[in-house]
Amino acid sequence: LWLATRKGLNYYNAKTQSFIRWAVKSPLNPELESIDTLSVAYKDKDHLWLGTRDGLMEFSINEKQMTYQDLPLLNQAVSRMIW
């Protein structure tokens, strides 16, 4: 079970009944520990889309790595939030 929270991306492992959390770093301000993760959706079996306060992130489930997706139209918006 994948959950988007104010503290980042969370995965609940039902077998071990435990959570794993990944902080979502802001591409606009890397000094922030974590930015609000507002939504999560499957891209495919190996990747998730994360809607954040600073835009769109892609999370590789296998590599446990996040990549910022630069969207020029979003950069021009007053609010960069993706729900």
Give the model confidence (pLDDT) of 61-79 as tens digits. 999 999 988 776 655 555 5
Residue 24 three-state SS: coil
- CB-CB contact of 10 with 23 (8 Å): no
For the segment 17-45, what is each residue's pLDDT rounded down to a tens digit? 999 999 888 877 777 777 788 889 999 99
Name 71's Cβ contacts closer than 8 Å, sequence gap at least 6.
55, 56
How large is the average pLDDT for residues 46-70? Answer: 90
- CB-CB contact of 55 with 74 (8 Å): yes
Which pTM value belongs to this model? 0.79
Using the structure block, give the residue that is written with the tokens 């939504």. Answer: 39
Cα separations (Å) of 34 from 25, 27, 44? Answer: 5, 11, 24
Q: What is the DSSP letter of 25?
A: -
